[in-house]
Amino acid sequence: MRRDGGAHGRGRHDQPRRRDGHRRGRRAHRAGGRRQRARRGAGADRRAGRGARRTGGVPAGVPRRALIIGVNRRTAPVLRELNAFSAPGSEVVLLGPDEQRMVRAIARAGTMTNLTTSTIEGVPTDRSTLEAVDVPSYDHVIVMSDDDLVPQRADARTLVTLLHLRELTDKADKHVTIASEMLDEGNRELAQVTKVDDVIVSEQIVSLMLAQISENEHLAEVFDVLFSAEGSEVYLRDASTYVTPGEPVSFATLVAAARERGETAIGYRDASAAEDAAEAYGVRISPPKSALFPCTGRDKLIVLAED
């Protein structure tokens, strides 16, 4: 059922219920130590005036539409990060079976400076629900796992949703980037059958980060920069942006080309192996400088960059 209007407006139709709740304001400051705050402030001063990625203190770019399917305890932080990275005027819609839970997640995220938010009440595993929300009209879709279920059951529901999403986008001949959470690492390979763009096993990522930080505490600052809206981020960019496609090139050549743009090349993605789990889906991080890559029109260079 669909719900239109403000926080208390209700109406019944044949489509999932939708509830709009636009929230604007300043982004809440994230907690951190004095050293982190000082470092962030210094970084902001160094980047002032560059205007390459952020204009007037807000992200530059084209407004995007994103659909978040499912709600859990990580939804509010995801919304805050989307607000930090999104261009003004962007929109995020939450879809789930419990409207009040979605509303609470939006409230915990705080006021949004760049996003408008709304909710649609419906069952994510139901194809008719996904058809009604017009999935191909979005630029990005994020599927969140249900923390209230045991991992195998939650992942099974996620897989059903992913299969519906891929069928709907393929039918519309529209590429929508889809990122999905999985609770069990063993189900990652199953998710690849749906041709999802990225599968995230949240607990595994946290465990790996903690393991690295325990070995080298200075890595905490590196991760903080990589995962914040300020500073450098990891990008997958067309290899053809750096070299002429069609002929094999060495990684050393790609590193030099990226350096000329003020970026750091850290890896490569071979599009021909993008669906091959045995080949790490075509991703090679820190390959030898002498390694040769085909550099087709679909290959990507993995770089650290601020824009």
Higher-confidence position of 255 and 195: 255
Render pLDDT for 241-265 as a digit per residue (tens, 0 to 9): 899 888 889 999 999 999 999 999 9
Identify the structural domains of the chain with CATH numbers, from first to last: 17-23+54-200 (3.40.50.720), 232-305 (3.30.70)
Tokens standing for residue 219: 């890595």
Higher-confidence position of 269 and 12: 269
**Residues 136-155, mean pLDDT to the nearest whole number:** 91
- Top mean pLDDT of 131-135, 168-172, 273-277 is at 131-135
Binned at pLDDT 50, 70 and 90, residue 11 comes out as: very low
pLDDT at position 190: 61
Q: pTM here?
A: 0.62
Binned at pLDDT 50, 70 and 90, residue 281 comes out as: confident
Q: Cβ of 29: how many Cβ atoms within 10 Å?
A: 8
Q: CA-to-CA distance for 210 and 87, rounded, in angstroms?
A: 31
Q: CA-to-CA distance for 277 and 263, rounded, in angstroms?
A: 28
Tokens standing for residue 58: 């807000």
Q: CA-to-CA distance for 261 and 158, rounded, in angstroms?
A: 39
Do residues 205 and 223 lie in contact, with contact meaning Cβ atoms separated by under 8 Å? no
For the purposes of burial, counting CB atoms within 10 Å of the CB of 92, is it exposed (0-12), middle (13-18) or buried (19 or more)?
A: buried
Render pLDDT for 196-216 as a digit per residue (tens, 0 to 9): 555 565 566 666 777 788 888
